[in-house]
Structure 1
Amino acid sequence: MLPNWLLIPALLCCVVNVSGQFGPFKQDSGYVTVRRGAHMFYWLFYTTADERSYTDRPLVVWLQGGPGGSSTGIGNFEILGPLDLSLQERNYTWVKNFNVLFIDNPVGTGYSYVDDWSFLTTTNDQIAVDFVNLMRGFYEKHAEFEGVPLYIYGQSYGGKMAVDMGIRMHEAEQAGTIRSNLRGIAMGNAWIHPVDLTLTWGPLLLAAGLVDETGYQNIQAAAREAERLFDEGLYAQSTDAWAATQTQVFRATHNVDFYNILTKTQGFGPDTRTDYEIARELTIRDMSYSAMSRQEEYDLNFLMNGPVKEALGIPAHVRWGSLSNAVFDQQRGDFMKPVTEGIEKLLNETDIIVQKYNGNLDLICDTPGQMLWMDRLQWAGAEGYRSAPRQPIWENNRLEGYSKSYGNLRFFWINMAGHSVPRDNPAGSNAFLRDMTSFG
């Protein structure tokens, strides 16, 4: 049975918010046409913090991974929004401390849509340009947020997107074409250097006792093939080899959960899908399957294409998530490319905080793989960062992980967390939120 507030007709709220309202929290949502044929959807939740004005707290953008994972759906209801999938208030929602802006991007993701598939993006930079245009439209409607500290938090592929978004936003600010106040970007269990990550799956699983020597060798052989194809500039083929490496992991581990190595994903059994199709589905999902299917929870697809769609006034022709596979497919040639040069650019040319956090139980974006590219970064503070001490993170007398920082670069190791740190370890998440924003 749906809660009473959900049964109130959306029309009653349309006087204030043209797009309607879902739930009791103060919010706004709408579309921005970021370029001809491309329409991006955002959903803003105003902070519930006890402040004179909600603009006394920062604006935090949340980006889901994939590419093709929906922030307004997965990020909102499954990770850190004000309501969970049982439509109960989440006690650790980020809305308690921040104004949170969920964005369905790239275009074609979630409620965002295109007039034709030819308008889908193919590169990380194209995604970033669309994002800047989305934010321009957002500030036109919400001028009160101009000057308010802005932070971009991205999970998985969202973390990869955040790098180029940070560069493009900074350029727009410098040019005076947007009145934002970008202070930092955060990359959570992010797909920053795909080859490094894929090559470390085998060693991590072997060290954890989850594979034997034969399984390890099979995984590494597939990973090295992904590396070889990448080195030869065959980027789409490298993506296919990455998918084949995932299949080798499933075989060797009997379906370990790629997003938390302490659990197993749902068994596939006989499957007519290709390795690529299976990997694409899991990556768009961007969440642990072990965290799904609780009896008291609503099905996310039902919520987003039923009650939420009706309440927010989403156009009838838009079906939430219907283009996710196409979004992923269009990025196939860009999927395995790293964004470490972009991180170096941010570190060397701006004072924007660049924060990396990682749950240590994740496999797909594992911590050992992150350390490889971190140690190779070429920037003015590289030596200072390498020699900086690692500090413990204590929250309520519990060791939640470790942190290391120098200049505008930070790294957070978070214990007892897999791919989605804010959901798995809210207490540990407070540490990196406070470090960047001073709230949390």
Structure 2
Amino acid sequence: MASPMKILVLLLLFLTPTFSHWVVDTLPGFPGKLPFKLQTGYIGVGESELVQLFYYFIESERSPENDPLFLWLTGGPGCSALSGLLYEIGPFTFNYANSTGDIPSLELNQYAWTKVANIIFLDQPVGTGFSYAKTWEAYRCSDTLSAQYAYSFLIKWFLDHPKFLSNPLYIAGDSYAGIIIPQIVQRIYDGLESGIEPRLNIKGYVEGNPATDKYADCNNRVVYAHRMGLLSDNLYESTKVSCDGHYIDEHPQNAACQYDLERVSKCTEKINMPQILEPECSNENLLSLDVSSIGENVTSLLLLQHWCREDNYLYSSIWANNKIVQKALHVREETITEWVRCNKTLNYKVNVERTEAYIYDVKSTVDYHKSFTNKCCRALIYSGDHDMGIPHLSTEEWIESLNFAVEDEWRPWFVEDQVAGYTMKYLEKEYELTYATVKGAGHTAPEYKPQQCLAMLQRWLSNYSL
């Protein structure tokens, strides 16, 4: 006899599921027909399907019927899936040199992860990218609700795409997605144990520079700054003692700690946290412009200042806000206000519990990783080693805290005979965790080191040693 939970889930899924998807053969800015299969669509989740999640699905360019299927989540929370698609692992990106018109030019990404995997890029949580809610109340979300909606999305997506049910499934993403991914993985395993249909062929997960323990990730920025030579030994030791190792707490009664933290701030405030070697600059003035009016002036506007990586992001605002582009993507016209790469009303900030629209109700996901040891599960965790936002040493710290057996000791891994980073491998029962740094990469590693990251993924998926 079916359990009450299973019956409830089945009723929610099958009573009134609605699917809307479209095949996209051409895209504004790209010459000719797309050489890969792109589908976009909406799937309703939550009560009465008031939340409508938008997605981009790209079939593997190699063997879609056999290659794994990834659900890719961009961080923030509130950063659009289109950001991960255009700037990190998708099959097309911008041709910056030739983007001088109203619609930026697109070109193929030779290091796209879609060369070896089917990927669903999901705009989540609600309020991200082109995802929307039918009522203002339905825009309220949280870490746990975001994970629940993503799981519901997956179940419904497979109902609409049953031919991919046998493909190995991985939940993947970077940055703040490290808070959401383990929850989704846990829900999938719980669903399998409860007999929920369809049965998802989950094999593991992939996380890049993942937020995992919010306190430790932020607190370790000071430790990282010292390790990278941004703080002197004397200043670091003084701050460590005066603040007792707690650098993001308020210390109103501790004058020595406050003084040391002010000195630390002076040393790091002009450092670009996503990639400490790149310039710290702001495009707030540019991004405040009406992107529809920039058109051919975008290049000349960018020449007014020295190059910043944020300059690249302006192109996505111009492209995604173009009505011709939105029509090609089959975005529901009545739902659109302005597309933004990252919705700042949702973005996480240190020591903040909530915004008007989002509650940060999961502080750490370390215990989720520990709980997967009784599952047949593979994990790939990678870190761009020049990211100060979520430093690699913080990731290494929580991985070490799991106390798993070391299968492969710390060593370099190579691409074209050059050191691409360093790696370790852990085993605990049927759970396998591979950790890798990506040398010279920033917060979103594939954006900075695309060739190395594709090689890393290919080897890991093939069960080869990095």
TM-score class, shorter: 0.7 to 0.9
Q: TM-score, normalized by length of structure 2?
A: 0.73
Q: Does the CA contact (< 8 Å) of 1:152 and 1:162 recur in 2?
A: yes
In the TM superposition, residue 109 of structure 1 has moved relative to its aligned partner by 0.6
Letter in 2 for 1:42: Y
1:42 aligns with 2:55: yes
State the match for 1:310 in structure 2.
327
Residue 432 of structure 1, CA deviation: 3.5
After TM superposition, list the pairs within 5 Å mapping 1:26-425 onto structure 2.
26-36=37-47, 37-49=50-62, 51=63, 54-71=64-81, 73-86=82-95, 87-120=106-139, 122-174=141-193, 175-211=195-231, 224=246, 226-227=248-249, 251-266=266-281, 290-293=308-311, 299-306=315-322, 307-316=324-333, 317-319=335-337, 320-321=339-340, 324-328=343-347, 329=355, 333-334=359-360, 337-346=363-372, 348-377=373-402, 382=404, 384-385=405-406, 388-407=408-427, 408-425=432-449
Using the alignment, how far apart are the partners of 1:178 and 1:140 within structure 2? 7
Match of 1:429 among 428, 447, 453: 453
Tell me which amino acid in the other structure corresponds to 1:46: E
RMSD of aligned residue pairs (Cα, Å) = 3.3
Contact 1:28 1:43 (C-alpha < 8 Å) held by counterparts: yes
CA distance in 1, matches of 2:360, 2:325: 32
Aligned residues: 381
User: For residue 91 of structure 1, what is the amino acid of its counterpart?
Assistant: Q
Counterpart amino acid of residue 388 in structure 2: L
Q: Give, in angstroms, the shift of residue 92 of structure 1.
A: 0.7
Percent sequence identity over aligned pairs: 22
Alignment check: 8 A CA contact 1:357 1:432 kept: no
Specify the alignment match of 1:438 in structure 2: 462
Question: 1:71-121 deviations in whole A, cap 9, x for unaligned?
Answer: 1x2111111211112211111111212112110011111111112342235
- Structure 1 window deviating more from structure 2 (200-209 vs 105-114): it is 200-209
CA distance in 2: counterparts of 1:269 and 1:88, whole angstroms: 27
Q: In structure 2, what is the Cα distance between the partners aligned to 1:55 and 1:210?
A: 49
**Match for 1:301: what amino acid?**
S
Q: What is the rounded CA distance, in whole Å, between the counterparts of 1:268 and 1:85 in structure 2?
A: 18
Q: Which runs of 5+ in 1 are unaligned?
A: 1-15, 230-244, 271-288
Where 2:182 maps in the other structure, the secondary structure is helix
AA paired with 2:120? L
TM-score normalized by structure 1? 0.77
How far apart, in 2, do the equivalents of 1:248 and 1:186 lie? 37
1:19-64 Cα deviation digits (max 9, x unpaired): 7753513111100001131111110111222x4xx21211122210
| Richer in helix (by share) | 1
1:17 offset after TM fit, Å? 2.7
Q: 1:214 to 1:389 in 2, by over 3 A?
A: closer
Contact 1:122–1:330 (Cα < 8 Å) also in 2: no
Distance 1:247 1:130, change over 3 A: farther
> Cα distance, 1:311 vs. partner?
0.8
Partners of 2:160 and 2:261 in 1: CA distance: 43
Deviation digits for residues 238-280 of structure 1, max 9, x if unmatched?
A: xxxxxxx99987643352111111122205999xxxxxxxxxx
* Contact 2:386–2:441 (CA under 8 A) maintained in structure 1: yes
Given that 1:21 and 1:28 are in contact with CA atoms closer than 8 Å, whether structure 2 keeps it comes out as: no
Q: Which residue of 1 aligns with 2:102?
A: none
Instruction: Flag the structure with larger Rg.
Output: 2
Bigger mean CA offset, 362-371 vs 175-184 = 175-184
Displacement of 1:218: 7.5
Aligned CA distance change for structure 1 residues 336 and 222 (closer, same or farther; 3 Å): farther
CA-CA distance at 1:321 after TM superposition: 3.4
Q: Contact between 1:38 and 1:119, CA under 8 Å: does it hold in 2?
A: yes
Within 2, Cα distance between the matches of 1:263 and 1:323?
20
Shift of 1:336: 7.0
Could you say which residue in structure 2 is the equivalent of 1:12?
A: none
Q: 1:150 to 1:431 in 2, by over 3 A?
A: same
Does the 8 Å CA contact 1:63/1:159 hold for their aligned counterparts?
no
> Which moved further from structure 2: 177-186 or 159-168?
177-186
Looking at structure 1, the residues matched to 331 and 176 of structure 2 have their Cα atoms a distance apart, in angstroms, of: 26
Instruction: Name the amino acid aligned to 2:74.
Output: Q
Greater shift after overlay, 94-103 or 121-130? 121-130
Give how far 1:313 is off: 1.8
How far 1:156 moved relative to its partner? Answer: 0.3
Residues 1:17 and 2:22 are matched in the alignment: yes
| SS of structure 2 residue aligned to 1:170 | helix
Q: Is the 8 A contact 1:20 1:312 kept in 2?
A: no
CA distance in 2, matches of 1:199, 1:323: 24
Distance 1:345 1:108 in 2: 31
> What is the DSSP-based 3-state SS (H/G/I as helix, E as strand, rest coil) of the residue aligned with 1:77?
helix
| Letter matched to residue 376 of structure 2 | D
